[in-house]
Amino acid sequence: MFLPKMKKGLLLLGMFLMLVSCGEYQKVLKSAEPGEKYALAEKLYNEAQAENSKSKYRKALRLFEQIVPQYRGKPQGEKLTFLFANTYYQLGDHYLAGYQFERFTQSYPNSERIEEAAFKSAKSYYELSPRYDLDQTETVKAIDELQKYIVTYPEGENIQEANQLATELRVKLEKKAYEIAKQYHHTENYKSAIVAFTNFINEYPGSPFREAAFYHRFDSAYQLAINSYQYLQKERLTEAQGFYNNYIRFYSEGSPYYNQIQASNLDLETRLQNF
């Protein structure tokens, strides 16, 4: 009997404290006193961090939004601006987090938290990067921001992660360029494929898609040649043979495309002998 009553009492007490807390929050939210809002916002922010509470971050954010302009240029402004940006970051609003951290780094270049802000700004833009087959404007922006961090803080606390994220985004851009070229190949638009693969090879010399690009450029030239009118074949077969030689310069037996390219080249040489 006693335990159920005690549990019920604790539940009622918790509900009462919650109502009191909500009432206090609404009162401060409507208050004209910025000092009260600052104190409660910071309290809620600290509790949110300790409890990993999204609801408390959201409450703190509503207060921060009201008072940030009032504290700009004041001693509390630096801390408040950082907390404001970081609240967006913790809530996963990466667009506004990136923007606010960027403003922080511009407004407080001598802050003790400048490196953290610079990294979180860059990482926010990284989080906005879409999958490779969509428009990559945000990806380019993220790479630029990460590169700024890497150059400015070569010994920074987050340098390893920054390099990893930047590499991941560069590979995403490479994949998009490679897939565009490959689409030309698959749709038998071989002239455009040759140009696209050549541009890819020149632009991304260290890409993980480089060998595939060398092979598909050769295959595009080979397919273009064998499907051409006879008077065009010799010139195009010779061009394809040049692309074969390019592949062999860099890749040897055991490479994924080696057997395929050797078989095609054997046919290519036979056709050239007929001329």
pLDDT-based confidence at 28, cuts 50/70/90?
Answer: confident
Residue 4: per-residue pLDDT: 55
Distance set, CA 225 to CA 54, 115, 234, 238 (Å): 62, 56, 8, 9
What are the respective helix, strand and coil percentages of the chain, to the nearest 5?
80, 0, 20
Q: Output the CA torsion sign for 151, 157, 163, 168.
A: negative
- Tell me the residue range of the domain where 256 lies: 188-275
Q: How many domains does the chain have?
A: 1
Q: What is the mean pLDDT of residues 147-166?
A: 97
pLDDT above 80 (res 29): yes
Q: State pTM to two decimals.
A: 0.82
Decide if 272 is inside a domain: yes
The whole-number pLDDT of residue 24 equals 85
Decide if 158 is inside a domain: no
Residue 266 within a domain = yes
Between CA 65 and CA 34 the distance in angstroms is: 11
Is 159 within the bounds of a domain? Answer: no
Q: What is the pLDDT of residues 253-273, one digit of tens each?
A: 889 999 999 999 999 999 999
In a domain, 134, yes or no: no
Q: How many residues are recorded in the chain?
A: 275
Does position 131 have pLDDT exceeding 70, yes or no?
yes
Q: Which residue has the tokens 């078989």?
A: 263
pLDDT score, position 76: 93
Tell whether the model's pLDDT for residue 227 goes beyond 80.
yes
Note the pLDDT tens digit of each residue in 140-155.
Answer: 999 999 999 999 999 9
Query: How far is Cα of residue 14 from the mean position of the Cα atoms in its chain?
Result: 42
- Find the range with the poorest average confidence among 7-11, 38-42, 85-89, 101-105: 7-11
| Domain contains 92 | no
Q: Is residue 275 in some structural domain?
A: yes
Residue 242 covered by a domain: yes
pLDDT band at residue 9 using 50, 70 and 90 as cut-offs? very low
Question: What is d(CA 132, CA 172) in angstroms, rounded to the nearest whole number?
Answer: 5
d(CA 257, CA 250): 12
pLDDT at 149: 97
